[in-house]
Amino acid sequence: MSLAAEAFVTQIAAAEPWPENAALYQPLKEEQILLSDNAACLAVQAFLQMCSLPVQVVYRANAEYMSPSGKVPFIHVGNQVVSELGPIVQFVKAKGHSLSDGLDEVQKAEMKAYMELVNNMLLTAELYLQWCDDATVQEITHPRYGSPYPWPLNHILAYQKQWEVRRKMKAIGWGSKSFDQVLEDVDQCCQALSQRLGTQPFFFNKKPTELDALVFGHLFTVLTTQLISDELSEKVKSYSNLISFCRRIEQHYFEGRAKDSTFRPSLIS
Amino acid sequence: MASPMELSCWGGDWGLPSVHAECLVVMAYGRFSGAPLKVNVIDNSWRAPRGSVPLLVSDDIVISQPAKILNFLRKQKYNADYELSAKEGADTLAYIALLEEKLHPALLHTFWVETDNYYTVTKPWFGSRIPFPLSWYLPGKMSREALNRILVTKGGPPFCSLAEIEAQIYRDAKECLNLLSSRLGTLPFFFGNTPTTLDAFVFGFLAPLYKVQFPKVQLQDHLKQLPNLCRFCDDILSCYFRLNLTGISPAGQDPIDANLQKLIQLVNKESNLIEKVFFHPFCDLLVDD
């Protein structure tokens, strides 16, 4: 989006209040969605819940192709369509809802830095696992990604996506990494998040911010998704304050919607 | 621990010990932690490594990539982060991720993709430190790799043209500079009075933007409006690298050498014309794709 277009969108957005019929689009949750997409969708859902903005979750097999950026999730609000957490946070802010307004400049810098840490390490590790680990690719990623399409389109699209992701991994120097090195990175990232959180309820004490939504989206997804090995979730499970952080957000923001089966894989046992 | 550690780096200019961000990170960390690194500046001889610079060699161990080299130095007891709390260690990791995601693409673009900068500064400079005929090939390869990295990481449906991607990465980079400036505030270093790993990374990424004289300087202009970041770079240069500038460089660069290098730079500039004619239309095709 160009600067002028962005300014225009912001102006329009500010003029209208949050409508009743706002919708969030994401891939089918039972048979299609992948680890990284699920994390992104959950992060946006958590963010909107924290802002107390009602949104109806719509599951579409072609959500990826409906999204303006080619990435899920996206929200449809009034006559606006906005995709991914960063732009959605901007959009919602233009409508007068913000979670990070109370932070000072240094805290805002810190929040942005930790959000980049999550994107740089956790998200990349999820992409690595689902597109570069051969066993996962064969057993989980290809069947799920191709599930809505007939043969041979299912294979063609899955291989196309795989090629795209592997090219990206190569460009950022992850192409030659082993799975163990990736797990080490994940561990380092979780350790940093755990240290930063300490004993506080949220990353910036009493009130959640978009960082809390993003971390929750990724960690909860890693913890509750059945993969061929549980090495990834074991890494997260060794940090007890991160587990209780996920539980806290699940209870506080998703409990009321317990009927919604998105959250069937509950942490509360 | 007793074995000598040799670091191969791209050399310096414009008052910098190295013009290459990653090399600068390792050199700065070496100074901060007191590690006795023997720095080998890459000249235009065949024996110098060029693939994965900076490169640390200690006995038979060879390590590339700044993060791995820093880890190795820490294991050798050269640690600049002794006094940091666990939370500050976590912050270090987070801010390095911020630099990687938000500032690195713009830095790559300024050096290797922006056409004016590449042909008048980057290509002649690096070309004169690479033996012929490799000097005709390698800078172009580095430029294509930088462009490829920017396209696959930042390109995508909402940004269809290179111009839109450029606008986005420079917007991100400026935001990143503002965030770093507010984080640093009036402190001498990011975690108080002593420099740490994070200072090495920030210095490594900022100093080339601040000092190298390019024809297109949009990020430099922005950086110069943030006096505390400029002061931060100047302080590290004057406190930790002054000896280097007076001590090592005259020995390595006698007048004949300097003249030779100028001549090589000139020849390389001429060869740009050839590359522009033959390769550039092809690059444009790739970009439009």
Averages of pLDDT over runs of 10 residues in chain A (269 residues) are 61 78 95 96 97 95 92 93 94 93 94 96 96 95 96 95 94 92 95 96 94 97 93 94 96 73 48
Task: Report the distance separating Cα B30 and Cα B79, nearest Å.
Answer: 9
Token look-up 């805290």 returns A107
> What's the Cα-to-Cα distance from B95 to each of A75, A115, B175, B176, rounded to whole Å?
30, 10, 13, 10
Instruction: Tell me whether B51 touches chain A (CB under 8 Å).
Output: no
- Give the ipTM: 0.90
In this predicted structure, the answer to whether residue B34 has a pLDDT above a threshold of 70 is yes
Our count of domains for chain B comes to: 1
In this predicted structure, the answer to whether residue B145 has a pLDDT above a threshold of 60 is yes
CB count in 10 Å sphere of residue B17:
23
**Among B42, B51, B201, which Cα is nearest to B131's?**
B42
* CATH number of domain containing B133: 1.20.1050.10
Distance from CA of B87 to the nearest CA of A (A): 5
Query: Which residues of B are less than 8 Å from A185 in CB distance?
Result: none
Produce one character per residue of A191-224: b if its CB has 16 or more CB atoms within 10 Å, e if not.
Answer: bbbbbbbeeebbbbeeebbbbbbbbbbbbbbbbb
Query: Which residues of B are less than 8 Å from A69 in CB distance?
Result: 156-158
Binning pLDDT at 50, 70 and 90, where does residue B44 land? confident
Cβ pair A189:B93 closer than 8 A: yes
More confident residue, B246 or A71: A71
Alpha-helix runs per DSSP H in chain A: 3-15, 35-50, 63-66, 85-94, 105-117, 124-132, 134-136, 142-146, 153-171, 179-197, 210-224, 231-237, 240-254
> Whole-model pTM?
0.88
Q: What is the pLDDT of residue B223?
A: 96
Least confident of B15-19, B96-100, B284-288: B284-288
CB pairs under 8 A between A and B: 79
- Domain presence at residue B48: no
Q: What is the pLDDT of residue B43?
A: 85
Binning pLDDT at 50, 70 and 90, where does residue B2 land? low
Cβ pair B157:A172 closer than 8 A: no
The residue-averaged pLDDT of B86-95 equals 96
Cβ pair B156:A189 closer than 8 A: no
Binning pLDDT at 50, 70 and 90, where does residue B154 land? confident
Q: Quick check: A228 and A21 in contact, CB under 8 A?
A: no
Query: Which residues of A are less than 8 Å from B65 in CB distance?
Result: 173
Q: What is the pLDDT of residue A4?
A: 61
* Residue spans in chain A of domains classed CATH 1.20.1050.10: 105-260
Task: Report the distance separating Cα B32 and Cα B194, nearest Å.
Answer: 8
Task: Report the distance separating Cα B254 and Cα B257, nearest Å.
Answer: 5
Task: Report the distance separating Cα A189 and Cα B96, nearest Å.
Answer: 12
Distance from CA of B99 to the nearest CA of A (A): 8
- Domain presence at residue B57: no
- Give the class (CATH, top level) of A3-94: alpha beta
- Give the class (CATH, top level) of A105-260: mainly alpha
In this predicted structure, the answer to whether residue B71 has a pLDDT above a threshold of 80 is yes
The residue of chain B nearest to residue A191, with distances taken between CA atoms, is B90
Q: Quick check: A184 and A134 in contact, CB under 8 A?
A: no
Instruction: Tell me whether B183 touches chain A (CB under 8 Å).
Output: yes
Query: Which residues of B are less than 8 Å from A68 in CB distance?
Result: 157-158
In this predicted structure, the answer to whether residue B123 has a pLDDT above a threshold of 90 is yes
Q: In what order do the strands lie in the sheet with B37-41?
A: B37-41, B5-9, B55-58, B61-64
The residue of chain A nearest to residue B184, with distances taken between CA atoms, is A106
More confident residue, B277 or B133: B133
Domain of B124, in residue numbers: 84-288
Token look-up 């006559």 returns A79
Q: What is the pLDDT of residue A26?
A: 96
The total number of residues shown for chain A amounts to 269
Q: What is the DSSP pairing of strand A80-83 with strand A74-77?
A: antiparallel
Residues B170-214 have pLDDT tens digits of 999 999 999 999 999 999 999 999 999 999 999 999 999 999 999
Q: Quick check: B112 and B150 in contact, CB under 8 A?
A: no
Task: Report the distance separating Cα B177 and Cα B227, nearest Å.
Answer: 11
Query: Which residues of B are less than 8 Å from A110 in CB distance?
Result: 91, 94, 183
